[in-house]
Amino acid sequence: MPFVLFINGALLGVMALAMALIAALFPETRPEFLEGAMLAGLLGAAICLSVVNRLGPPRRVHAFLLTASVWITGATAGAFPLWIWYLSPTDAFFEAMSGITTTGATILSGLDTMEPGVLIWRALLQWIGGIGFIVTGIAFLPILRAGGMQLFRTESSETGDKELASAARFAGATVWVYLGLTGACAFAYELGGMTPFEAAAHALATVSTGGYSTSDASFGHFDSAFLQWSAVVFMLAGGLPFAWYIRLIYGRRAVSEQVRAILIFFAVVILSMSIWLSLSHRIPPFEALRLVAFNVVSVVTTTGFATTDYTLWGPFAVAVFFFLTALGGCTGSTSGGAKAMRWIILARSVRHYVRMIRAPHRVDAIRYEGRAVAPDVVQGVLVFFTLYTATIGALAAVLALYGLDMDTAISGALTSVANVGPGVGGVIGPAGNYAPLPDGAKWALALGMYAGRLELMTVFVLFMPAFWREVF
């Protein structure tokens, strides 16, 4: 336990340094961020000093606690300057949790005239959360065997290079890829006409697949085909597995079933929806292609940017985007959602079961990346989808108790657990935000974002008495 507390204290110190940097760069909000930095720094120092003499070797149970606690710590620290600025504790925590989990749901409006320090802090929270999730996925979730994630350990370490054998070295390579993509994205945005500030803020929110913008109109504020296609490229880049990039860099085998599957899926959905939109709404074909490509990639990668209110395209579009919200990007990316790898294994499990019914004596294995998938991995994936569905259903019921209509309750529950951001409907759709919701609903949604970002199982383990007996 001292080890977990020490790491959380150190995280508070890192967040304090980030706030101090914002205070130095943006004088308009200097007092708020300096006060937030002092509060986080003092708390972090107090926690670290109280346990530094009792540190011991970490155990597996500490990995659960550490993975679960750092996101709460990060969101709480991230809320400090927003709360001191002017938000209520509920709104500040909601905005910070949405940021650190890269969900992108917001309660703020008037973004076009808002203080730059607040805008860049929101984007920075998403960027920190994005790299934090990738490192968590590499270092902890496979060890915790959360929802079939042990399969990702095999996929991410299959480089054939001893230099990448350790998780720490692999995580370091991932950070460099993340930095490179962020820099390239910012350069493309500035080249397309954004100001340096807008380019930096949107690059942080794009590569992290977070979706916070500097405008109430989200990416629709920028009426530029070049900028929108650039965003499509980098949202997609954030939604692909970073292990795949590293294999490409090291010249190793770069074939990935989930990458191939998601690219084919995008091609089919974007092409078919573009044709439908062009014919049904009399929109020029290339404009329809751009509108559909941007918003489909944004939702599936769980970025949450929008160029238009796609719910106005009609019931068919609403149904399609509701379905897309549940999917998610690739395992090992910054995306939320169920992830492509799990969907592939689920589909093959269904096919395997149907074959077993048809031919009970047939000996067949579920395969992924050319290998037989272990039964515990399949079980983990099936348990994940059970929890995924149950969590969304339970959260929707809670939201309905607070008076939300069923469209808002169900889509709000789904979009928070999948870490997408915008839902459907007039309240929390692409053209709305979460400010009108009751405080209780905001806390419930923040919990949904937290559980979804931690792949559910890591959070549910905390409710088991046997787990705490092992801790203490």
Say which range, 61-70, 71-80, 290-299, 324-333, has the weakest mean pLDDT.
61-70
pLDDT score at 145 = 58
Q: Would you list the DSSP string of 350-378?
A: HHHHHHHHH-TT-----EETTEEPPHHHH
> CA 44 to CA 466: how far, in whole Å?
29
pLDDT score at 166 = 59
Closest CA to 198 of 230, 170, 166, 173: 230
Choose between 148 and 130: higher pLDDT: 130
pLDDT at residue 161 is higher than 50: no
Alpha helix stretches (DSSP H) within 26-88: 30-51, 60-85
Q: Please give the average per-residue pLDDT across 383-400, as a whole number.
A: 96
Reported as a pLDDT band with limits 50, 70 and 90, residue 167 is: low
pLDDT at residue 165 is higher than 80: no
pLDDT score at 3 = 84
Choose between 58 and 341: higher pLDDT: 341
Closest CA to 257 of 243, 271, 268, 270: 243
Q: Please give the average per-residue pLDDT across 205-224, as a whole number.
A: 95
Q: What is the pTM of this model?
A: 0.92
Reported as a pLDDT band with limits 50, 70 and 90, residue 157 is: very low
- Computed over every residue of the chain, the mean pLDDT equals 90
pLDDT at residue 148 is higher than 60: no
pLDDT at residue 472 is higher than 80: no
Reported as a pLDDT band with limits 50, 70 and 90, residue 152 is: low
Read off the pLDDT of residues 105-115 as tens digits, 9 standing for 90 and up.
999 999 999 99
pLDDT score at 138 = 66
Reported as a pLDDT band with limits 50, 70 and 90, residue 63 is: confident
> CA 169 to CA 357: how far, in whole Å?
46
> CA 82 to CA 95: how far, in whole Å?
8
What is the separation, in whole angstroms, between the first and last Cα of the chain?
Answer: 8
Reported as a pLDDT band with limits 50, 70 and 90, residue 172 is: confident
Reported as a pLDDT band with limits 50, 70 and 90, residue 304 is: very high
Q: Please give the average per-residue pLDDT across 325-337, as a whole number.
A: 92
Reported as a pLDDT band with limits 50, 70 and 90, residue 336 is: very high
Q: Which residue has the tokens 């607070």?
A: 402
pLDDT score at 162 = 42
Reported as a pLDDT band with limits 50, 70 and 90, residue 53 is: confident
Q: Please give the average per-residue pLDDT across 339-358, as a whole number.
A: 92
Amino acid (1-letter code) at residue 375: P
Tokens of 47: 């926690």
Q: Please give the average per-residue pLDDT across 167-176, as a whole number.
A: 80
**Beta-carbon contacts of residue 445 (< 8 Å; ≥ 6 apart):** 94, 105, 395, 399, 412, 413, 416, 434, 437
pLDDT score at 226 = 98
| Bridge partner residues of 371 (DSSP) | 368
pLDDT at residue 48 is higher than 90: yes
Choose between 273 and 252: higher pLDDT: 273
Reported as a pLDDT band with limits 50, 70 and 90, residue 337 is: very high
Q: Please give the average per-residue pLDDT across 332-349, as a whole number.
A: 93
Read off the pLDDT of residues 227-266 as tens digits, 9 standing for 90 and up.
999 999 999 999 999 989 988 888 776 678 999 999 999 9
Q: Which residue has the tokens 């095999």?
A: 154
pLDDT at residue 285 is higher than 80: yes
Choose between 196 and 86: higher pLDDT: 196
pLDDT at residue 414 is higher than 90: yes
* Residue 23 · residue 33 · CB < 8 Å: yes
